[in-house]
């Protein structure tokens, strides 16, 4: 899960330690990708995914109020531990950050995840773009903060 601004990071409430943490995680990820690339990754599919992700960013998130948001990435629970409330707990952690910052939350959902996210107030705002032939990529979902 992470804070996003146009695919990068949130602005506004700046906590210098959070910014430093994000910076170090980013640098570590980039170094790891160069010195130890994931041998299981398909570079063609990874590139399609990157292009799809940029396209969705422009299509659904590139507005003044949605650009700054908590975007929840890659949620997965060990099949042996599913249906015990872990997924809901993890999503709630991200939603609590969005509530605290009074910003939107976003997620790219699989078919199975959609039921969970809908029950937590996310709404479908579009379809994900196909990256792998024959695979239903699911939907794009957004959670809107309550304005007081």
Ligand X SMILES: CC(C)(COP(=O)(O)OP(=O)(O)OC[C@H]1O[C@@H](n2cnc3c(N)ncnc32)[C@H](O)[C@@H]1OP(=O)(O)O)[C@@H](O)C(=O)NCCC(=O)NCCS
Q: Answer yes or no whether residue 84 interacts with ligand X by CB under 6 A.
A: yes
Residue identified by tokens 């602005």 is 11
Q: Give 85's strand partners.
A: none
Q: Which of 56, 66, 70, 87 binds ligand X (CB under 6 A)?
A: 87
- CB of 145: closest distance to ligand X in angstroms? 20
Q: Answer yes or no whether residue 80 interacts with ligand X by CB under 6 A.
A: no
Scanning 19-27, 47-55, 73-81, 127-135 for contacts with ligand X by CB under 6 A, the matching segment is: 73-81
Scanning 21-29, 43-51, 58-66, 81-89 for contacts with ligand X by CB under 6 A, the matching segment is: 81-89
User: CA dist 117 to 47, 96, 122, 123, Å?
Assistant: 27, 14, 5, 8
Contact positions toward ligand X, by CB under 6 A? 75-77, 82-88, 107, 109-110, 112-113, 115-116, 119
């Amino acid at each position: 899960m992470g804070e996003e601004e146009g695919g990068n990071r949130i602005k506004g409430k700046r906590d210098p330690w959070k910014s430093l943490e994000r910076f170090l995680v980013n640098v570590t990820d980039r170094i790891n990708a160069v010195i130890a690339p994931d041998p299981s990754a398909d570079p063609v599919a990874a590139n399609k995914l990157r292009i799809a992700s940029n396209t969705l960013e422009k299509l659904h998130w590139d507005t003044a109020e949605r650009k700054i948001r908590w975007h929840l990435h890659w949620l997965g629970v060990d099949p042996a531990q599913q249906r015990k409330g872990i997924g809901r707990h993890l999503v709630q952690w991200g939603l609590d950050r969005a509530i605290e910052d009074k910003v939107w939350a976003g997620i790219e959902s699989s078919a199975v995840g959609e039921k969970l996210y809908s029950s937590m107030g996310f709404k479908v705002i579009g379809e994900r773009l196909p990256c792998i032939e024959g695979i239903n990529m699911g939907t794009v979902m957004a959670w809107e903060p309550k304005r007081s």
